[in-house]
Amino acid sequence: MPKLTNDWIFTAHCPSLIGTVDVVTRFMADSGNYIDEIHSFDDRVSGQFFIRIEFHPQDETFTETGFNEAFAERAKPFGMTWSLTPPGYRAKVAILVSKFDHCLNDLLYRHRTGQLQIDIPVIISNHPDLKPLAEWHGIPYYHLPITPDTKPQQEAEILKLIDKYNADLVVLARYMQVLSPDMCNALDGKAINIHHSLLPGFKGAKPYHQAWEKGVKMVGATAHYVNNDLDEGPIITQGIQTVDHAHYAEDLVSKGQDIERITLFNAVRYHVEKRVFLNGKRTVVFSN
């Protein structure tokens, strides 16, 4: 089970320079902030530095405004961009889904049991099938059927709903629609998709059945940020499991769906816990 934190979360990135770790940790010490968890990474390829810290203030006069104003002076020589997330932060997550319910069910369960510190204000689907599940959880469900002729209008409606419910993140929990370039641009960096890791092979319908026919020896899942490259956005998490000749197509489907659930859960958790940094076409992920 993930560690739930009541700490403040500090994240920052900047060009790679001498003293990047020191400027942050020294400021934390000087300000009376006790560090509970720290991760940093200096990418020698991109020349970028990334850091994430969980801390709790020991000074009763601590304020977010005061922290930002004081740290700005220290950060300026490094060209550092940073953010501060308060304890108890709960991201608003809009979920898009089609007919498969395994990923949606898992996210709803983890939300309900507190394993995911998120709010789910809306579920949107191109099919009506999962409306009873949403209603049982008391979450508004919008059925927006999509055809080639209605796709632009329905995608516009989806974006309106995302805006209406002030969603911080959009999760495609097996939403079986190819997003248009305009939709991808609108959701760039704030939407997570999940799919099997058999790509680029076995595209289209029944990929696990196609894979079984070829005698695959492993199945898996990939969670990534949405962008204009179909199923090729920056990867956040992946899962994998070996299989053999004794596994039939139905077994591959079952195992694949289990891996998809866990892989998507971890991707969403890492995102809302501010553990993921975009680094060009790649990601830096400080998993715990």
231 among known catalytic residues? yes
Catalytic residue, chosen from 231, 244, 251, 258, is 231
Task: Annotate 129-182 with DSSP letters as a single string.
Answer: TTHHHHHHTT--EEE----TTTHHHHHHHHHHHHHHTT-SEEEESS--SPPPHH
Residue for token pair 């959009």:
170
The 3-state DSSP class for residue 265 equals: helix
CA dist., res. 139 & res. 121, Å (int): 6
Smallest Cα–Cα separation from 233: which of 179, 159, 286, 163?
179
* Catalytic residue list: 231
